[in-house]
Amino acid sequence: MALCITASTWAYDFTVNGIYYNITSATSPYKVAVTVAGSGGNSYSGSVIIPSSVTYNSINYAVTSVGTYAFASSTGLTSVSIPLTVTSIEDWAFVSCSGLSNVTIPASVTAIGDGIFWGCRNITDISIPASVKKIGNYVFVGCLALTQINTDAANTNFASADGVLYNKDKTTLLVYPSGRSDVSYTIASSVDTIAAYAFGYCKNLTSITIPTSVVYIFHAAFMQCNGLTTMFIPASVTFLNNNPFYDCAGMTAVTVDPANQFNESVDGVLFSKGLGAIIYYPPAHSGTNYVIPSTVDYVRSSVFLNCTGLTSVTIPSTVTIIRSGMFSGCTGMTSINAYSPTPIDLISANHPDENSDYVFQGVDTTTCVLHVPVGSKSLYASAFQWKGFTNIVEGFNAQTWQTVFYDNFNRADGTLGSNYTYTLGGPITQLGILNNEVNVVSSGLGSNGSPHAYWGINYTNGVNANNIRISCKFRAPNIGYALAINARDNGINTYSAGIMSNTDEIQISSRDYLGNSTKLAGEKANLDISKTYFMEFTLKNADLAFRFVEVGMKDTITINATDNSLTGNMVNLSAYYYSPNLSVYLDDFKIETNNNPTGINNINKNSYSIYPNPATDGFYIGLDGKDASVSIYNLNGMLVMSRSAVDKSLISIATLSRGMYIVKISTDGNTIERKLVKK
pLDDT of residue 633: 77
- Tell me the C-alpha distance between 130 and 544, whole Å: 70
Beta bridge partners of 557: 548
Asked whether the whole model's pTM tops 0.75, one would answer no
Share of the chain above pLDDT 90, in %: 52
Contact (Cβ atoms closer than 8 angstroms) between residue 397 and residue 548: no
Type of residue at 143: C
Q: Where are the domains of the chain?
A: 1-146, 159-258, 287-400, 403-593, 608-678
- Tell me the C-alpha distance between 33 and 52, whole Å: 11
403-593 architecture in CATH?
Sandwich (2.60)
* CATH 3.40.50.2300 applies to domain 1-146: no
Superfamily of domain 159-258: Ribonuclease Inhibitor (3.80.10.10)
3-state SS assignment for residue 666: strand
Least reliable range by pLDDT among 52-56, 153-157, 420-424: 420-424
At residue 106 the predicted structure's pLDDT band, cuts being 50, 70 and 90, is very high
At residue 553 the predicted structure's pLDDT band, cuts being 50, 70 and 90, is confident
Q: Quick check: 587 pLDDT over 80?
A: yes
Q: Using CA atoms in the order 557, 563, 564, 568, what is the torsion angle rounded to 10 degrees?
A: -50
Q: Any idea which fold 608-678 has?
A: Immunoglobulin-like (2.60.40)
- Tell me the C-alpha distance between 555 and 198, whole Å: 42
Q: Any idea which fold 287-400 has?
A: 3.80.10
Q: Quick check: 354 pLDDT over 70?
A: no
3-state SS assignment for residue 569: coil
Share of the chain above pLDDT 70, in %: 87
pLDDT of residue 111: 97
pLDDT of residue 611: 67
3-state SS assignment for residue 160: strand
| Distances, alpha carbon 247 to alpha carbons 171, 207, 223, 373, in Å | 26, 16, 6, 32
pLDDT of residue 490: 66
Q: Using CA atoms in the order 613, 312, 314, 380, what is the torsion angle rounded to 10 degrees?
A: 90
At residue 188 the predicted structure's pLDDT band, cuts being 50, 70 and 90, is very high
pLDDT of residue 445: 61
Q: What average pLDDT does the segment 380-395 reach?
A: 94
Tell me, yes or no, if the two domains 159-258 and 608-678 fold the same way: no
Q: Quick check: 600 pLDDT over 60?
A: no
The percent helix, strand, coil of the chain (3-state, each to 5) is 5, 40, 55
The sign one gets for the Cα dihedral 631, 632, 635, 640 is negative
- Tell me the C-alpha distance between 497 and 495, whole Å: 7
- Tell me the C-alpha distance between 216 and 213, whole Å: 10
